[in-house]
Amino acid sequence: DLSTDLGAGRRLPNPLMTASGCAANGKELHRFFDVADLGAFVTKSVMADPRSGRGTPRMAETPSGMLNSIGLQGPGIDAFVDEDLPWLKSVGARVLPSIAGSSSTEYAHVAATLRASRAFDAVVGVEVNISCPNVANRGLVFACDPLASAKVIALVREQLPRDIPVYAKLSPDVTDITAIAAACVEAGADGLTMINTLLGMVIDTDRMRPQLGGVTGGLSGPGIRPVAVRAVWQVRQAMFEGRMPTVPIIGVGGVRTGHDALELVAAGASAIQVGTAVFNDPSAPVRVLRELCELLEAKGFERFADAVAVAHGR
């Protein structure tokens, strides 16, 4: 039994998801596998208006992963609900839209537009991206401030039906991730997604200038996997110790194999997102699910849920 609890009374048939940003609206990946086979499809973060994002170059490869300074390129919520969401519904995908805003009212507007849309019944939850690293002065990174995080989450929660779980996507670039996690849950988050990319930078030594147009960027891929495992562990530990309410955690950060996924599961994640790995292997999310399944069976777990947080030894 691979099913998993998404919170707010929702279950998914399996715990594998795409990570926001790496698969846009799903059409590219659907050429390689059936996106309806995923537990859920997570979209690129969508804002109120269309955006072209930051100037190029905005991707750099590093030995530890990929650095991006995309800057929230996207179609805007109106085009998303008119085109992308109906297409995802037509192929039978369970959709977890990622939403973003430059103010709490923008987040609320995006959530309300989503709710009012004709394909809303394909939506199984909403991921609130409060942790994009690629915004001017990082001033839009609500996830560094518990009060700002709580305000956004509370406003989004108000716009959506009770049976749609609201997830807060957290940044690893904070001193105490459990404080932010607790603030989001207190404000009404039904779950937490950890982690967004880690702020980084690459210098082009031919030009002796920063390589990315946006100067800094978000690091994803293998190098941030231990950071994700640590963040998931710390927040799950805070839940075990009663320092915050227990809610489901989605683990994300550098997962390439079933083994990588199992590490996050053992730390406390009850769902797993695969992002950067799709650039080398577009079918990575379904391959990781197959590998995870084989590993769980080899280890004698009859149900996926029994493996969640086992590394805490409780």
Instruction: Determine whether 132 is an active site residue.
Output: yes
- The Cα-based distances of 232 to 1, 36, 67, 93, 290 in angstroms read 23, 27, 22, 26, 22
Under 8 Å between Cβ of 31 and 25? no
Which of residues 14 and 149 has its CB atom nearest to ligand RRO in the complex? Answer: 149
Which of residues 133 and 268 has its CB atom nearest to ligand RRO in the complex? Answer: 133
- What is the C-alpha separation between 42 and 280, in angstroms, rounded? 19
Give the shortest CB-4-to-ligand RRO separation in angstroms: 23
Position closest to ligand RRO via CB: 218
Give the shortest CB-130-to-ligand RRO separation in angstroms: 9
Which of residues 4 and 276 has its CB atom nearest to ligand RRO in the complex? Answer: 276
3-state DSSP call for residue 252?
Answer: strand
- What is the C-alpha separation between 16 and 290, in angstroms, rounded? 10
The angle that helices 146-159 and 104-115 make with each other, rounded to 10 degrees, is 20
Looking at 132, 144, 184, 293, which residue is catalytic?
132
Which of residues 25 and 45 has its CB atom nearest to ligand RRO in the complex? Answer: 45
Which of residues 21 and 268 has its CB atom nearest to ligand RRO in the complex? Answer: 21
Three-state secondary structure along 175-214? CCHHHHHHHHHHCCCCEEEECCCEEEECEECCCCEECECC
Give the shortest CB-76-to-ligand RRO separation in angstroms: 14
Look at residues 162, 156, 234, 222 and name the one whose alpha carbon lies nearest to residue 194. 234
Give the shortest CB-59-to-ligand RRO separation in angstroms: 10
Give the shortest CB-134-to-ligand RRO separation in angstroms: 3
3-state DSSP call for residue 51?
Answer: strand
Look at residues 247, 277, 272, 275 and name the one whose alpha carbon lies nearest to residue 261. 272
Positions touching ligand RRO (CB under 6 A) are 21, 45, 68-72, 100, 129, 131-134, 196-197, 218
Residues annotated as catalytic are 132
